[in-house]
């Protein structure tokens, strides 16, 4: 598949809208490239139940500059590509 991707570390949290400038700075200093609210819980449950699992994420927001992307048509395009990548990845789980 011809898709652009990035591999990197993800910070996961259950707190909504807690991305303070201080937190963003700390994550940036630790080379954390994304903030996520679902993946760790999903992977923990799959591990506890002895199931294989993986994650493919689409970036919606840009915290460093407060740019929210859920309404951006580019996000919808990226989300569709992410779904197709995830479908293809299921073959390997």
Residue 57 and residue 40 in contact, taking contact as beta carbons nearer than 8 Å: no
Q: For the chain, which residues make up each domain, given as ranges?
A: 9-92
Backbone angles phi, psi at 69, to 5 degrees: -110, 0
Decide which of 12 and 29 is more confident. 29
**The 3-state secondary structure of the chain, one letter per residue:** CCCCCCCCEEEECCCCCCCCHHHHHHHHHCCEEEEECCHHHHHHHHHHCCCCCCCCCCCCEECCCCEECCCCHHHHHHHHHHHHHHHHHHHHC
The per-residue pLDDT for range 20-76, each reduced to its tens digit, is 888 888 988 998 888 888 888 888 899 999 998 888 887 777 766 667 777 778 888
pTM of structure: 0.60
Q: Which residue shows structure tokens 């652009």?
A: 4
């Amino acid at each position: 598949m011809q898709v652009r991707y990035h591999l990197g570390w993800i910070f996961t949290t259950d707190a909504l809208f807690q991305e303070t400038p201080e937190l963003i700075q700390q994550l940036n200093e630790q080379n954390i490239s994304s903030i996520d609210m679902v993946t760790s819980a999903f992977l923990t449950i799959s591990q506890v139940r002895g199931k294989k699992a993986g994650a493919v994420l689409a970036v919606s927001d840009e915290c460093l500059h407060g740019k929210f992307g859920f309404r951006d048509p580019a996000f919808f395009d990226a989300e569709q590509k992410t779904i197709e990548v995830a479908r293809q990845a299921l073959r390997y789980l």
